[in-house]
Chain A
Amino acid sequence: MNRLTQHLLLVLLGGVTLRVSLGQGHLAYVQAGFRPLLVAAGAVVLAVGVLGALRTRPGGPEHPGPRVAWLLLAPVAVLLVVAPGPLGSFTAQRQAAPVVAVEGDAPLGIGADDPGQSHRTMTLSGYAIRTQQSDTSPLEGRSIRLVGFLSPREDGGWYLTRIRIACCAADASAVRVVLDGEVEGVADQWVEVVGEHTPSLPHPSEGYPEPALVPVSMTPVDPPADGYED
């Protein structure tokens, strides 16, 4: 690999990194707060490549680069050709885990209804944790609104699902709430569900308790720009 090729590879890598981080694309892969670091890294890589390419003179001394450097083309190609979106129901089926409640002196409340509404909007993990407390009274008699995508349950039903990431998509885990009622839908469809708490149901094969909600209304919605929960 000659010098010019090495510089061009850096230009490509820096370029796609900048493109992904300046637009919305990076939200599928990393936390929103990571963006400044990505922009800086993309800019440095691009600048090193451009400066190097400008300074390379044909016929100058050649220093063959390492073969492994060809792999730098892999992330560029995957980003340009596949342009993978956020993780969805495929990952949800493989990275789900039992929800564990944090038991305090008193059960966690859920706060007042949304302004001007007769329901309370919650995150899926916020709802899931509260369903696993020994005292679920804060949930009773309340109308709860959750937003997530549909993923299939082993028994033929559906979960409302969100993927959580701590740092990047490699550490993804899924939060799932069983929709305990008649639900028509397709996997990965984003929906808004308003419903009522119902006792947890056992996982069809593993047996651990899964948070559940009886849906009263379900409306398809557009996927949010950042589909991951923190």
Chain B
Amino acid sequence: MRTQVQVAAPRLRSTDVLVGLLLVVVAARFLAPGAFDAPAVQAWSTVFVAVCLQALPFLVLGVLLSAAISTLVPPSFFARALPRRPALAVPVAGAAGLVLPGCECASVPVAGSLVRRGVTPAAALAFLLSAPAINPVVLVATAVAFPDDPEMVVARFLASLAVALVMGWLWSAFGRGRWLQLPPRHEHPPGTGRAAAFLSVVQHDLVHAGGFLVVGGLTAATLNVVVPRSWLDGVAAEPVLAVLVLAALAVLLAICSEADAFVAAGLTSFSLTARLAFLVVGPAVDVKLVALQTGTFGRRFAVRFAPTTFVVAVAAAALVGWWLL
């Protein structure tokens, strides 16, 4: 005969885990102060922290804007501001990207809340792609980085806008609503005030998008330390390969769109068209952005959207480069 004993095991709560992890961190700080002195570890850590810090203000800006859109702006505003037909709403939303001065981390949460507010996904995606690529800050940075090639600014603007519009129209033609899985957001009972709702949305989005940003930072720092520059200069002489390699590099390095022009300017062994591909692909697809998109729109969306955007962006850069540069 067996007696059933119900042991009320104390459930491990996440707060306890957090305190435990913090104790490990503090212990590592004092018990092994020299364990992280290897140059590769130091360089990796510097780049990782740099990517996170560089992106944080833009992420915060994006989250605040996105929370304002989802709690303070009535849905009817967007219904009036955007043309009803997706085919026309796409260029309007793409052109609206001109006015949001931020990098790509800001535009993902904003695009997410636009979709929640009933904006047609095709238009929200056009905005998502155009905002980080063609805003004034990015265009001025490009002009400063390429003082001898002013046509680079025009080429970047045209190619990036083309990517945004083509992707928007592709979505309205072939996109399926079920690919979009926006994570459920806790709806507040009517009693709670707007301030409380705003705060709650900001907190939720910061924790969520911040976590995905760190995924991107980890990837970018690892590649930055693992891939030496000399590997790149070896392929620069092959015109087609050079475009593809710089496009892939833009995905892997995940440099902020406001800084990528300076990096591209430094890749002097590559053709202008290859460097244009770097500038057009970077703000549209990179590891940090794909991680953020997965968090905001769901995995089924990201596995379709990111590769398609990559192909469209490389094609747009190659065509515009062939035409203008």
By a beta-carbon cutoff of 8 Å, the part of chain A in contact with chain B is: 1-2, 4-10, 12-13, 17, 20-21, 26, 28-30, 34, 37-38, 40-42, 44-45, 48-49, 51-52, 55, 63, 65-66, 68-82, 84-91, 93-98, 100, 102, 166-173, 206
Does B150 count as interface, using CB distance less than 8 angstroms? no
Contact of B266 among A34, A55, A97 (CB under 8 A): A97
Q: Knowing A6-B203, A41-B56, A48-B202, say if A29 contacts B211 (CB, 8 Å).
A: no
**A170 near B224: Cβ-Cβ < 8 Å:** yes
A30 CA / B54 CA spacing, docked (Å): 7
A94 CA / B224 CA spacing, docked (Å): 9
Main secondary structure of the interface of B (DSSP, over half): helix
Contacts of B251 in A (CB 8 A): none
Q: Mark B141-156, 1 if CB is under 8 A from A, else 0.
A: 0000100100000000
**A-B contacts, 7 listed (Cβ < 8 Å):** A9-B207, A52-B199, A66-B211, A73-B18, A80-B26, A82-B42, A170-B253
A51 CA / B28 CA spacing, docked (Å): 30
**A97 near B229: Cβ-Cβ < 8 Å:** yes
A166 CA / B145 CA spacing, docked (Å): 10
Contacts of A84 in B (CB 8 A): 36, 42-43, 45-46, 49
Minimum C-beta distance from B63 to chain A (A): 9
Does B25 count as interface, using CB distance less than 8 angstroms? yes
Does B190 count as interface, using CB distance less than 8 angstroms? no
Using a CB-CB cutoff of 8 Å, which residues 34-86 of chain B contact chain A? Answer: 36, 39-43, 45-54, 56-57, 59-60, 64
**A68 near B208: Cβ-Cβ < 8 Å:** yes
A54 CA / B18 CA spacing, docked (Å): 18
Contacts of A88 in B (CB 8 A): 39, 42-43
**B214 near A71: Cβ-Cβ < 8 Å:** yes
**A69 near B210: Cβ-Cβ < 8 Å:** yes
**B207 near A170: Cβ-Cβ < 8 Å:** no
**A167 near B36: Cβ-Cβ < 8 Å:** no
**B214 near A90: Cβ-Cβ < 8 Å:** no
Does B283 count as interface, using CB distance less than 8 angstroms? no
Closest to A44 in B: B60
Closest 9 CB pairs of A and B: A167-B259, A166-B262, A68-B211, A169-B50, A84-B45, A90-B39, A168-B54, A41-B57, A29-B50
Does B6 count as interface, using CB distance less than 8 angstroms? no
Closest to A8 in B: B18
Closest to B21 in A: A73
Q: Knowing A17-B53, A38-B56, say if A166 contacts B259 (CB, 8 Å).
A: yes
**A171 near B259: Cβ-Cβ < 8 Å:** yes
Q: Mark B1-40, 1 if CB is under 8 A from A, else 0.
A: 0000000000001110110011001101100000010011
A42 CA / B258 CA spacing, docked (Å): 20
**B46 near A169: Cβ-Cβ < 8 Å:** yes
Minimum C-beta distance from A21 to chain B (A): 8
